[in-house]
Amino acid sequence: MLAMNFRGPFQIRPDRNRPMPEIMHPYDAIVRVTRSLICGSDLHLYHGLVPDTRVGMTFGHEFTGVVEEIGSGVQKLKVGDRVLVPFNIACGSCPFCKQELYGNCHEANSEATAVGGFFGYAHTGGGYDGGQAEYVRVPYADVSPTIIPAGMDEENAVLLTDVVPTGYQAAEQGGIQKGDTVVVFGAGPIGLMTARFAWFFGAARVIVIDELDYRLEFARKFAFAEAYNFREMKDPVVFLKKATDYYGADVCIDAVGCEASGMALQTITGKGLLMQAGTATAFHWAVNSVKKGGIVSIIGVYGPPWNLVPLGSIMNKGITIRGNQASVKRLLPKLIDHIMSGRINPKEIITHRFPLEEVSDAYRMFSKKLDNIIKPLLIPPRAYAA
């Protein structure tokens, strides 16, 4: 079958000779992929920043498809079902799943206890091949995969596997109260979605900070946000303090993660020397821009080892920090309703569509932010098969 094949940092190829996935466990299903997205966090893999990313792996944790085969223990899904597959692989029965922490399942990732099981996200994410392929093995098929509601656009469905719930949870983690001023760092797909959902929780102001003007313009239109370029600021923290009456924002959200720009020390030690797990610039700004007693929500992805962070300010300001991988299954009913009711149309963020055969071009364009790209979609050749 055709699938994306990782060959090393900045090197991938479409490979027509990948083996077909097989049922390995009674609770497995094989899904024929019909739509697959490239996530900003896939770029961390592409850039070689995530440990235990092995050559030969297929990435992709945001996909929809059709169930082609099921294991002997699968009861809820049947062959032919059109499903959206949350990026979390979850058993549904461990204490974490029972408490709806589906992104923290204890039975999906042997290789890192700090990380849940994710499709196509290195062996640090459990070593599962992902959905940037024609077919994919889906473990615990009865738990997270969800039948796409009748009438839902498939591009909205595929965004429900990660981007929409992740953006929603970022806002939710912020504990936003009615009337709050919310600052979102990052105008990538997750930041845009977070900014959009901040209003759902009652924000009175939503401010987005990024360095790319085309993305800031998109944030103004899609997320109805005030949007500013930090390259035009001497110090983003002072800007945000001034913008919030020298009080600080009520909630700051880091939707950038480990590849942020803007602070030389972070860039040199994080991206240049790999002495920390990427750059914690956005988090640093968030801690320093939020009010005393405020909340910082982290949804940007960081590597597992460590980062330079302002612990003193966190303690002295009494800041509450909340972060987690999105618990997609927990949020799906609410988010499906938001989409089906027309309150949000997430597919507006998909700016580029590529055949799977052009996956390496898609990665390069996304990585280099070419052609005003926001979110690239991959369409496998068998997507339209009967």
Under rule CB under 8 A, which residues in 145-204 are in contact with other proteins?
A: 169, 172-173
Three-class secondary structure of residue 52 per DSSP? coil
CB atoms within 10 A of CB 201: 17
Backbone phi and psi for residue 153, each to the nearest 5 degrees, phi listed first: -65, 135
Q: How far is it, in rounded angstroms, from Cα 276 to Cα 273?
A: 8
Q: What number of other Cβ atoms are within 10 A of residue 343's Cβ? A: 11
42 to 71, contacts with other proteins by CB under 8 A? 48, 51-58
Number of H helices, E strands in the chain: 12, 17
Stretch that binds other proteins, among 34-42, 61-69, 123-131, 225-233 (CB under 8 A): 123-131
Closest distance of CB 278 from other proteins, Å: 12
Number of residues in the chain: 386
CA 61, CA 50: separation in Å to the nearest integer? 15
Say whether residue 272 binds other proteins (CB under 8 A). no
CB of 13 to other proteins, least distance (A): 5
Distance in Å, CB of 234 to other proteins, minimum: 27
Q: Which is nearer to other proteins, 224 or 293 (CB)?
A: 293
Tell which positions 280-319 bind other proteins, by CB under 8 A.
Answer: 303-305
x-or-dash pattern for other proteins, window 208-247, by CB under 8 A?
Answer: ----------------------------------------
Among 66, 91, 308, 335, binds other proteins (CB under 8 A): 91
Figure out which of the listed residues 42, 68, 81, 129 binds other proteins, where binding follows CB under 8 A: 129
Cβ contact 33:59 at 8 Å: no
Shortest Å, Cβ 212 to other proteins: 14
- Binding residues for other proteins, rule CB under 8 A, total 74
Instruction: Pick the closer one to other proteins by CB: 267 or 324.
Output: 324
**Alpha-carbon gap, residue 208 to 12, rounded angstroms:** 32
Q: State the nearest-atom distance from the C-beta of 273 to other proteins, in Å.
A: 12
Does 324 contact other proteins by CB under 8 A? Answer: yes
* Position 120, amino acid: G
Smaller CB separation from other proteins, 127 or 310: 127
Asked if residue 257 binds other proteins (CB under 8 A), the reply is: no
- Does the footprint of other proteins cover residue 127 (CB under 8 A)? yes
Those residues whose C-beta lies under 8 Å from the C-beta of residue 82, and which sit 6 or more positions away, are 34, 64, 65, 66, 147, 148
Site string for other proteins, 24-43 (x = CB under 8 A): xxxxx---------------
Question: What's the closest the beta carbon of residue 238 comes to other proteins, in angstroms?
Answer: 30
- Per the structure block, which two tokens stand in for 132? 């940037």
CA-to-CA separations, 125 to 24, 104, 206, 303, 312, in angstroms, rounded: 18, 11, 33, 11, 31
Q: CB atoms < 10 A from the CB of 369, how many?
A: 14
The verdict on 76 binding other proteins (CB under 8 A) reads no
Q: What are 230's two structure tokens?
A: 């930090």
Shortest Å, Cβ 186 to other proteins: 20
Specify the DSSP element, H or E, that contains 34: strand 29-37
- The number of beta carbons lying within 10 Å of the beta carbon of residue 110 is 10
CB of 179 to other proteins, least distance (A): 20
